[in-house]
């Protein structure tokens, strides 16, 4: 067994991983509430994978109601070393056509109703989000997508909107003017929380549709999105398999593994014990050595 434990967060249309061996399904308790679903744990090509369907089986949880803190916390508790997120996205660029896969590297957060940090009053921490994704895992994700035969584009800015409604045309044009490339409802605060949990994170977006900025075209409709999503999901499952085939046998340390070393600003004698107890998985490495 390698040192990698890859957490896979499956987005819309991706509710399972093909080919897992030694499979077990477990529920992991989190002090931050209930995760989207049980974790499915198994091995692929000698590497451990932990799968979590972001919206729960049957897609029963709305984007706003996702408990991203619990989702990241249970992946950390399950021993994940790195996270690959897979998400359905809309396109804000002509060249990013439906069916294309985008390895996202930047984000703009327009969500407003979500808990965005594990930390707070009683234990304040500030992590850098200048480079939100892990370049190493993103490289591997791109290689896996290419090996799976996906039409993949490297790099792009993801606009995270609150939803669950799709954009107005005015909003879509505004996001394009900001330099955004794709749009979705779930990557934030997920990527921020992964960084706070010292989990290197990569996101592959599956383009299901053009957002409503294109003149003379119909607005986004769920039935069209679902049809493209099903085609994308078959490819996404193959990407996970290919990732397991190309993972290096040894996992080299990442700077993200220790990003909390200088992030916690609250003085030790001012830290709230109740919050510290909730942070036992997310920040235990630092707190236990303080």
Catalytic site residue 211? yes
Which tokens belong to 109? Answer: 């957060």
Whole-number Å distance between alpha carbons of 169 and 106 = 23
From the candidates 211, 218, 234, 269, which is the catalytic residue?
A: 211
In terms of Cβ atoms closer than 10 Å to its own Cβ (0-12, 13-18, 19+), residue 269 is exposed
86 close to 73: Cβ distance less than 8 angstroms: no
DSSP bridge partners of 83: 7, 201
Q: 163-166: long-range contacts at Cβ-Cβ below 8 A with a sequence spacing of 24 or more?
A: 163/62, 163/63, 163/64, 164/62, 164/63, 164/64, 166/90, 166/211, 166/212, 166/219, 166/220
Which tokens belong to 22? Answer: 């030694």
Whole-number Å distance between alpha carbons of 160 and 182 = 9
Collapsing DSSP to helix, strand or coil, 76 comes out as helix
Catalytic site residue 209? yes
Look at residues 170, 59, 177, 193 and name the one whose alpha carbon lies nearest to residue 119.
193
Which tokens belong to 200? Answer: 């290197």
Task: Return phi, psi of residue 165, to 5°.
Answer: -70, 150
From the candidates 209, 261, 269, 280, which is the catalytic residue?
A: 209
Report the catalytic residues: 209, 211
């Amino acid at each position: 067994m390698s040192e990698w434990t890859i957490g896979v967060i499956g987005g819309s249309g991706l509710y399972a991983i093909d080919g897992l061996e030694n499979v077990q399904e477990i529920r992991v308790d989190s002090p931050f509430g209930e995760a989207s679903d049980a974790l499915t744990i198994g091995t692929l090509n000698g590497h451990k994978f932990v799968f979590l369907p972001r919206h729960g089986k049957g897609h029963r949880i709305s984007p706003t109601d996702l408990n991203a803190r619990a989702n990241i916390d249970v992946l950390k508790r399950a021993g994940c070393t790195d996270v690959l997120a897979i998400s359905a996205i809309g396109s804000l660029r002509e060249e990013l056509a439906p069916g294309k896969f985008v390895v996202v590297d930047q984000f703009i957060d327009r969500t407003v109703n979500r808990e965005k940090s594990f930390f707070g009053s009683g234990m304040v921490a500030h992590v850098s989000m200048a480079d939100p994704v892990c370049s190493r895992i993103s490289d591997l994700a791109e290689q896996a997508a290419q090996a799976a035969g996906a039409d993949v584009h490297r790099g792009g800015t993801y606009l995270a909107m609150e939803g669950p409604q799709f954009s107005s045309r005015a909003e879509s044009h505004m996001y394009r003017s900001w330099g955004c490339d794709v749009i979705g409802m779930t990557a934030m605060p997920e990527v921020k929380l992964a960084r706070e949990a010292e989990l290197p994170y990569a996101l592959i977006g599956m383009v299901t549709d053009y957002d409503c900025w294109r003149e003379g075209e119909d607005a986004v409709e769920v039935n069209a999105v679902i049809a493209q999503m099903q085609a994308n999901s078959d490819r996404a499952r193959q990407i996970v398999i290919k990732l397991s085939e190309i993972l290096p046998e040894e996992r080299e340390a990442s700077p993200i593994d220790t990003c909390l070393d200088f992030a916690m600003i609250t003085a030790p004698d001012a830290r709230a014990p109740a919050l510290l107890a909730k942070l036992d998985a997310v920040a235990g490495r630092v707190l236990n050595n303080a």
